[in-house]
Amino acid sequence: NAGVTQTPKFRVLKTGQSMTLLCAQDMNHEYMYWYRQDPGMGLRLIHYSVGEGTTAKGEVPDGYNVSRLKKQNFLLGLESAAPSQTSVYFCASSHTTVSGQPQHFGDGTRLSIL
């Protein structure tokens, strides 16, 4: 049981390049999330998904796109990378309940945009 797995772990891009970050979970969770973490700013939600085939915007969605074609996978795309997108990206997943459930995080992807 691997939990939440993110690939790649590190990546360096040039401004204007595109890339996709992959998140996979094996806990049969309905909900999946993408966050970015910048120094002194905690975790900010980029996009999330409440189930296969559905996505929604979070707090900081601009410059990112997501897809959830399979329940276990959640992809985050950068169409044209900008230096402001240099950050650590975390994926998380959780069960769906009315009363709230803890989110389980992956190990993160360190992304640098030059």
Total interface residues for another protein by CB under 8 A: 29
Among 17, 19, 20, 58, binds another protein (CB under 8 A): 58
Q: Per rule CB under 8 A, is residue 90 in the interface with another protein?
A: yes
Q: Per rule CB under 8 A, is residue 69 in the interface with another protein?
A: no
Buried (b) or exposed (e) across 7-28, using 16+ Cβ within 10 A?
A: eeeebebeeeeeeebebbbeee
The span of 18-26, 40-48, 60-68, 69-77 binding another protein (CB under 8 A) equals: 40-48
**How wide is the angle at C-alpha 113 spanned by C-alphas 21 and 18, nearest 5°?**
45
Q: Residue numbers of the site for another protein (CB under 8 A)?
A: 31, 33, 40-45, 48-50, 56, 58-59, 90, 94, 96-108
